[in-house]
Amino acid sequence: QVQLQESGPGLVKPSETLSLTCAVSGYSISSGYYWGWIRQPPGKGLEWIGSIYHSGSTYYNPSLKSRVTISVDTSKNQFSLKLSSVTAADTAVYYCARLGVTTLSCWFDPWGQGTLVTVSS
């Protein structure tokens, strides 16, 4: 059974870089699949941040692209998110998830439990 677990600081100062890691168990990232990050501001809806293939190919939300870096470490079976120059608007629960992908579709399953990151001085 594939399980994902997010980790990282729960509090980040404005203008600094948010860094999170998603540890994957029950499946080897190097075997395939895309992996992604999604966030949800308190009381609001879901926003896709970006996705990465096990080979390192990435796709980012155009609205965040200039500030986002997603990387993968197959040796540790984990992937990571960095979001730079954060503001209060980046306060959210951050989820990692595996993507099921076909030629024209994709879906997120399973998801990590999520981790709340607050941007505040």
Interface residues toward another protein, by CB under 8 A: 36, 45-48, 51, 59, 61-62, 95, 100, 102, 104-114
Alpha helices in 14-102 (DSSP H): none
Q: Which is nearer to another protein, 73 or 109 (CB)?
A: 109
Rounded-to-integer distance, Cα 49 and Cα 70, Å: 9
Element (H, E) at 80: strand 78-83
| CB of residue 13 to another protein, shortest distance in Å | 26
Would you say 6 or 90 has its CB closer to another protein?
6
- CA–CA dist 38, 55 (Å, integer): 20
Nearer to another protein, 3 or 17 (CB): 3
CA distance 88 to 47: 16
Kindly state the smallest distance separating residue 16's Cβ from another protein, in Å.
26
Closest separation in Å from C-beta 10 to another protein: 16
- Choose between 34 and 78: whose C-beta lies nearer to another protein: 34
- Dist CA 2 CA 70 (whole Å): 20
